[in-house]
Amino acid sequence: MARPDPDDVELELFIRALQLRHGYDFSGYARASLKRRVQGLAIARQCQTIGELTTRVLHDDGLLPSVIAGLSVPVSEMFRNPFVFKALADDVFPVLASYPHINIWQAGCARGEEVYTLAILLEEAGLYERTQIYATDFNDAALAQAQEGIFPVAEARAWSENYRAAGGSASLSDYWHARYEHLKLDERLKRNITFANHNLVADGVFCEAHLILCRNVLIYFTNELQDRVLGLFRHSLVRGGYLVLGNKESIAFAASAAEFCEFDARARIYRLGAVPA
């Protein structure tokens, strides 16, 4: 029997130490991508090995925020994959409009780009006044940036192109104020957004939702953890509610898959329960 690689052993010890000492459980994360991130953290902190990083995490509480920030993947952009948001605006929002109040859960919101994307589209659809968006992540640093709503101005051109492709009806520049090298999103977009720390690995149902978006998060989880999180989403949705995943994610293998209908295969939009004829 082949002996395990020392780095793999050290990775498992790091995961266990983080859970026992600080309560963060990364045991359900896919090992290849997690290993790359942990190795990157070790190099950035001038640690020769993952084991040396583990020792520092055990004894230096001040290191924890930057470690958690490094282990999460806060990468997104406004109107990312525009066809997804066009499908939401064209096909899902008209159904949500039948509810007197709409709850949307953006799980794994990272820096908030997609949260503000939703706010803009809901504003233009005339639905934002009766919508509450819950934006959650376990990375406090990313949440803080999301709440600020300040982003590099270099993103503006790509975001504007995405906005037009998603069917935006105004000019995206109407929703921000540019100054120096940054743009700040209009405060009015935040009025119905609640930002909160929530860990999909350890925490339970966050709210009763009509729409849940969790895009490009599950790909970093093992199949077992993906199944657990999809079960969490199933119990969070009202019957007839919608779930949106990333373009490389699926619910096909999950225990709860039979309870969902594929609403839009390309956009990875699923609906809980039978879709009315």
List, for residues 74-113, the tens digit of each pLDDT value. 567 899 999 999 999 999 999 999 999 999 999 999 889 9
User: Which one has a higher pLDDT value, 186 or 32?
Assistant: 186
Q: Which CATH number fits domain 82-150+189-272: 3.40.640.10, 3.40.50.150, 3.90.105.10, 1.20.120.420?
A: 3.40.50.150
Report which of 255, 261, 254, 219 is spatially closest to residue 239, judged by C-alpha positions. Answer: 261
Spatial distance between the Cα atoms of 141 and 241, rounded to a whole number of angstroms: 30
Q: How confident is the model at residue 206 (pLDDT cuts 50, 70, 90)?
A: confident
Are 131 and 192 in contact by the 8 Å Cβ rule? The answer is: yes
Per the model's pLDDT, the better-predicted residue between 96 and 70 turns out to be 96
- Tokens linked to 54: 């583990």
Residue 119 is predicted with a pLDDT of: 97
Predicted local confidence at residue 1, as pLDDT:
63
Instruction: Reply yes or no on whether the pLDDT at 275 is more than 70.
Output: no
The mean predicted confidence, pLDDT, of the chain is 90
Closest of 261, 259, 258, 208 to residue 238, by C-alpha: 208
pTM for the complete prediction? 0.84
Please give the share of the chain, as a percent, with pLDDT higher than 70. 97
DSSP string, 62-99: GGHHHHHHHHS-----TTSSHHHHHHIIIIIHHHHTTS
pLDDT at position 277 is 40
196 has a pLDDT exceeding 80: yes
**Per-residue pLDDT tens digits for 256-271:** 888 999 999 999 999 9
Average pLDDT over residues 27-56: 88
DSSP conformation class of 276: P
pLDDT score at 74 = 57
Q: What are the angstrom distances between the C-alpha of 33 and each of 73, 135, 217, 220, 222? A: 10, 24, 12, 7, 11
Checking if the pLDDT of 230 tops 90, the result is: yes
Exposure on the CB side of residue 90, measured as CA atoms within 13 A: 14
Hey, where are the domains in the chain? 6-71, 82-150+189-272
224: pLDDT strictly greater than 90: no
What is the mean pLDDT of the segment spanning 229-237?
94
Q: pLDDT-derived band of residue 219, with 50, 70 and 90 as boundaries?
A: confident
Query: Kind of pairing, strands 193-197 and 131-137?
Result: parallel
**Confidence tier at 114 by pLDDT (50, 70, 90):** very high
Q: In what order do the strands lie in the sheet with 176-179?
A: 150-152, 182-185, 176-179
Residues of the chain with pLDDT > 90: what percent?
A: 57
